């Protein structure tokens, strides 16, 4: 059963490799499955049920493998915000704690916290707002014990939307901080 | 409300590489002045001319929204000499002004253009000029003639012979985006790419002499500020600190660059002395301070700050560092830009989920919302203060639009291919 699943996933991996869109992380996730371990994040439970994205996972393998286990909270890397707000909502507490714990256990690993906004309002203000969101996440992780130099804050403002569209459905997916390993 | 759809299709003479802007007047002034720009006489084959002078001039005047040029097919006569003008015919048509002219080709390949602006009711000449031009400066000469006519009839200096900078975004076949910083004539012709990048480009800002553009590039996976020479293409990085490096704005004397840096913790306004790169920090506040713009007298900066809880426009005096709040209407006012006379500030005004272009009158205090869409941004005044160019959401993504400072004239400037954002209207050209 396990081997069969592995085979299917490998096939998916090959298919993914054939397409020209590099953004799918399916392939990397497959490699992780073969190592089948429980992660710290997994123990923290699968909280936060709305709107997660999965890690890109290009750098998976080796020490990053625990990060990319599908279903693990560590594979959830995105924190969403309200309009013109940089308040981290309580529902993301577990996600942030899990990544903080991982970074504490792996002090040689650094991450980028990429702040983004929706398209509304002015671009330069949004660039500043994106930074403030990323800093809000950084602050929480540092309070949890992560060394500040493991966390690189960068803002893209409204320049790199995750979802195209001029409506709240798109905007709510674009007001985000992405934890990039 | 008078609605006119005058479409000026801009075709490049050569080279398919550059996308071209297509300008459409969506609303003109009801009391727009009737004017007839009569085809200029030419002593050679009209096909050999780079463009039809009278069409370019008529399009310029129409684009301002203040003029209603007559169709050539409706003209009762097409004189090029003053003595051939039958003023009574034109009076019957209610025509107020005529432009007549002629083009002579000279042995050295240049052209001599003479034109006259006539007042139909008085039956006399208001202005008359003779200009020598070449093939390569032919279009610019047409814009200069438009400037003369505009100034004579409105009292306002024309801004037809100016340029705009903007950023185009094109989706590539592989799904990635290509960004290009471009400049073009104010009518969308002669687009020229200054920089292409797979990473976002934003916030182009003109040097006051029009020779350089500062902008923000994400090519290093973080924002950084560059200044690029337009004619040589040479550029230099002026700010690439940890954190945000953005929102460049040249001082009116061109010697300093205001900018936003978050290197000291959070976004603050700084002024860089370009000669030696030294920085002077202007704001000290834990809130967001960004988007500085110089008052025309160089003594103060307008900027956006959310120190009061929501983004609003503030003004800081550069001698005293005293900060004063400017906007109080609405929950969101950002990205201020002064009018050339310093009496108005245009901005992005957010209210009830709509983001529109507004103008604050600094003397009388009122705020005018000029646009009616919901995702307008990046307003920038023409150097004569008559129009404000901005970005708006069109059916195929971001496109440019312009509105007169009094809100009466509206235009769309659609790119035929891709998206256009972040317009910045350049300064007047140096006097010839």
The residue whose two tokens read 């650094």 is A110
The answer to whether the CB atoms of B348 and A131 lie below 8 A apart is: no
B356 touches chain A (CB under 8 A): no
Instruction: Measure the CA–CA gap between B65 and B72, rounded to whole angstroms.
Output: 19
Q: Using CA atoms of A96, A100, A103, A109 in order, give the dihedral in degrees to the nearest 10.
A: 40
Q: Which of A120, A123, A162, A174 to mutate to test the interface with B (most CBs of B within 10 A)?
A: A123
pLDDT reported for residue A23: 38
The tens digit of pLDDT for each residue in B377-387 reads 999 999 999 99
* Beta carbon pairs, A and B, within 8 Å: 86
| pLDDT above 70 (res B318) | yes
N-to-C CA span, chain A? 31
Q: How confident is the model at residue B13 (pLDDT cuts 50, 70, 90)?
A: very low
pLDDT reported for residue B273: 98
Average pLDDT over residues B105-132: 95
Q: How confident is the model at residue B21 (pLDDT cuts 50, 70, 90)?
A: low
Q: How confident is the model at residue B26 (pLDDT cuts 50, 70, 90)?
A: confident
pLDDT reported for residue B416: 66
How far does the CA of residue A129 sit from the closest CA of chain B (Å)? 8
The answer to whether the CB atoms of B375 and A119 lie below 8 A apart is: yes
| pLDDT above 60 (res A30) | no
Instruction: Measure the CA–CA gap between B34 and B44, rounded to whole angstroms.
Output: 30
**Longest distance between any two alpha carbons in chain B, whole Å:** 73
Query: Which residues does chain B have within 8 Å of residue A168's beta carbon, measured at their own beta carbons?
Result: none
pLDDT reported for residue B46: 85
Q: How confident is the model at residue B83 (pLDDT cuts 50, 70, 90)?
A: very high
pLDDT reported for residue B432: 60
| pLDDT above 70 (res B232) | yes
Instruction: Measure the CA–CA gap between A41 and A75, rounded to whole angstroms.
Output: 9
Provide DSSP, B13-28: SS-SSS--EEEEEEE-
Report the 10 Å Cβ neighbour count for B36: 25
**Longest distance between any two alpha carbons in chain A, whole Å:** 54
How far does the CA of residue A159 sit from the closest CA of chain B (Å)? 6
**Average model confidence (pLDDT) for chain B?**
92
The tens digit of pLDDT for each residue in B181-212 reads 999 999 888 899 999 999 999 999 999 999 99
How far does the CA of residue A57 sit from the closest CA of chain B (Å)? 19
| pLDDT above 70 (res B3) | no
3-state secondary structure B61-118: HHHCCCEEECCHHHCCCCCCCHHHCCHHHHHHCCCCEEEEEEEEECCCCCEEEEEEEE
Domain spans in chain B, listed from the N-terminal domain onward = 2-19+161-425, 28-154
More confident residue, B233 or A13: B233
pLDDT reported for residue A7: 46
Q: Which of A36-45, B114-123, B279-288 has the lowest mean pLDDT?
A: A36-45
Query: Which residues does chain B have within 8 Å of residue A84's beta carbon, measured at their own beta carbons?
Result: 310-311, 332
> How many residues belong to chain B?
432
Q: Which of B172, B197, B223, B266 to mutate to test the interface with A (most CBs of A within 10 A)?
A: B223
Residues 65-94 of A with CB under 8 A from B: 84
State the complex-level ipTM: 0.90
Q: Which of A24, A114, A118, A125 to mutate to test the interface with B (most CBs of B within 10 A)?
A: A125
In chain B, % of residues over pLDDT 70 = 94
The answer to whether the CB atoms of B243 and A127 lie below 8 A apart is: no
pLDDT reported for residue A69: 78
Residue B82, C-beta contacts closer than 8 angstroms, at least 6 positions apart: B100, B116, B118, B125
In chain B, % of residues over pLDDT 90 = 84
Query: Which residues does chain B have within 8 Å of residue A132's beta carbon, measured at their own beta carbons?
Result: 266, 288
Instruction: Measure the CA–CA gap between B371 and B402, rounded to whole angstroms.
Output: 9
B334 touches chain A (CB under 8 A): yes
Q: How confident is the model at residue B404 (pLDDT cuts 50, 70, 90)?
A: very high
A119 touches chain B (CB under 8 A): yes
Out of B267, B332, B375, the one facing A131 most closely (by C-beta) is: B267
pTM: 0.85
pLDDT reported for residue B162: 96
Instruction: Measure the CA–CA gap between B422 and B399, rounded to whole angstroms.
Output: 9
Choose which CATH entry (3.40.50.10070, 3.40.920.10, 3.50.50.60, 3.40.190.10) describes domain B28-154.
3.40.50.10070
Q: Tell me the H-state helices in B28-94.
A: 53-63, 87-92
Residue A36, C-beta contacts closer than 8 angstroms, at least 6 positions apart: none
The tens digit of pLDDT for each residue in A84-119 reads 999 999 999 999 999 999 999 999 999 999 999 999
| pLDDT above 60 (res A38) | no
Q: Give the closest residue to A83 by CA, choosing from B3, B119, B239, B306.
A: B306
B378 touches chain A (CB under 8 A): yes
CATH architecture, domain B2-19+161-425: 6 Propeller (2.120)
Q: How confident is the model at residue B229 (pLDDT cuts 50, 70, 90)?
A: very high
* Same fold across B2-19+161-425 and B28-154: no
Out of A131, A132, A160, the one facing B200 most closely (by C-beta) is: A160
pLDDT reported for residue A65: 66
B290 touches chain A (CB under 8 A): yes
B226 touches chain A (CB under 8 A): no
Out of B203, B332, B353, the one facing A123 most closely (by C-beta) is: B203
The answer to whether the CB atoms of A121 and B377 lie below 8 A apart is: yes
The tens digit of pLDDT for each residue in B91-115 reads 999 999 999 999 999 999 999 999 9
């Amino acid at each position: 059963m396990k081997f069969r699943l592995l085979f299917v996933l490998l096939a998916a991996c090959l298919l993914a490799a054939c397409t020209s869109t590099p953004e799918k992380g399916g392939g990397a996730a497959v490699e992780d499955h073969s190592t089948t371990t429980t992660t710290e994040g997994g123990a923290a439970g699968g909280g936060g049920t709305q709107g997660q994205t999965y890690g890109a996972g290009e750098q998976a393998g080796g020490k990053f493998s625990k990060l990319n286990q599908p279903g693990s909270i560590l594979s959830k890397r995105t924190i969403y915000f309200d309009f013109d707000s940089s308040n981290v909502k309580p529902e993301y507490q577990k996600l942030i704690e899990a990544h903080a714990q991982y970074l504490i256990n792996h002090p040689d690993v650094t991450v980028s916290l990429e702040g983004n906004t929706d398209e509304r309002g002015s671009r330069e203000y949004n660039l500043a707002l994106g930074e403030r969101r990323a800093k809000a996440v950084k602050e929480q992780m540092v309070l949890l014990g992560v060394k500040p130099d493991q966390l690189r804050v960068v803002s893209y403002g409204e320049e790199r939307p995750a979802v195209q569209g001029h409506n709240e459905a798109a905007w709510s997916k674009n007001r985000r901080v992405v934890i990039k390993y | 409300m008078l609605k006119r759809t005058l479409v000026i299709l801009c075709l490049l003479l050569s080279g398919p590489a550059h996308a071209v802007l297509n300008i459409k007047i969506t609303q003109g002034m009801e009391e727009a002045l009737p004017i007839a720009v009569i085809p200029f006489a030419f002593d050679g084959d009209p096909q050999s001319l780079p463009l039809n002078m009278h069409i370019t001039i008529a399009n310029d005047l129409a684009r301002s929204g203040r003029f209603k040029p007559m169709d050539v097919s409706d003209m009762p006569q097409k004189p090029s000499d003053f003595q051939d003008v039958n003023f009574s015919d034109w009076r019957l048509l209610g025509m107020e002004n005529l432009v007549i002219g002629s083009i002579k080709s000279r042995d050295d390949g240049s052209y001599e253009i003479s034109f006259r602006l006539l007042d139909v009711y008085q039956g006399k000449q208001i202005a008359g000029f003779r200009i020598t031009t070449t093939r390569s400066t032919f279009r610019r000469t047409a814009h200069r003639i438009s400037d003369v006519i505009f100034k004579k009839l409105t009292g306002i200096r024309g801004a037809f012979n100016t340029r705009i900078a903007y950023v185009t975004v094109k989706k590539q076949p592989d799904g990635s985006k290509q960004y290009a910083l471009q400049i073009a004539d104010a009518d969308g012709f002669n687009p020229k790419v200054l920089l292409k990048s797979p990473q976002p480009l934003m916030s182009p800002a003109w040097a006051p002499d029009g020779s350089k553009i500062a902008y923000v590039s994400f090519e290093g996976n973080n924002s950084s500020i560059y200044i690029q020479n337009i004619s040589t293409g040479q550029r230099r990085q002026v700010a690439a600190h940890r954190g945000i490096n953005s929102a460049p704005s040249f001082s009116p004397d061109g010697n300093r660059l205001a900018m936003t840096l978050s290197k000291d913790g959070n976004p603050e306004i700084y002024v860089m002395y370009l000669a030696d790169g030294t920085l002077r920090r202007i704001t000290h506040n834990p809130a967001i301070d960004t988007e500085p713009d110089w008052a025309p007298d160089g003594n103060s900066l307008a900027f956006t700050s959310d120190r009061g809880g929501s983004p609003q426009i503030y003004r800081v005096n550069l001698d005293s560092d005293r900060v004063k709040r400017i906007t109080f209407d609405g929950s969101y006012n950002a990205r201020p830009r002064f009018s050339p006379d310093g009496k108005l500030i245009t901005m992005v005004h957010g209210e009830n989920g709509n983001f529109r272009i507004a103008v604050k009158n600094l003397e009388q205090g009122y705020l005018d919302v000029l646009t009616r869409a919901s995702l307008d941004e990046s307003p920038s005044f023409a150097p004569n203060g008559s129009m404000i160019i901005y970005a708006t959401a069109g059916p195929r993504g971001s496109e440019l639009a312009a509105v007169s400072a009094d809100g009466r004239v509206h235009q769309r400037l659609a790119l035929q291919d891709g998206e256009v954002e972040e317009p910045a209207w350049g300064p007047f050209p140096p006097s010839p």
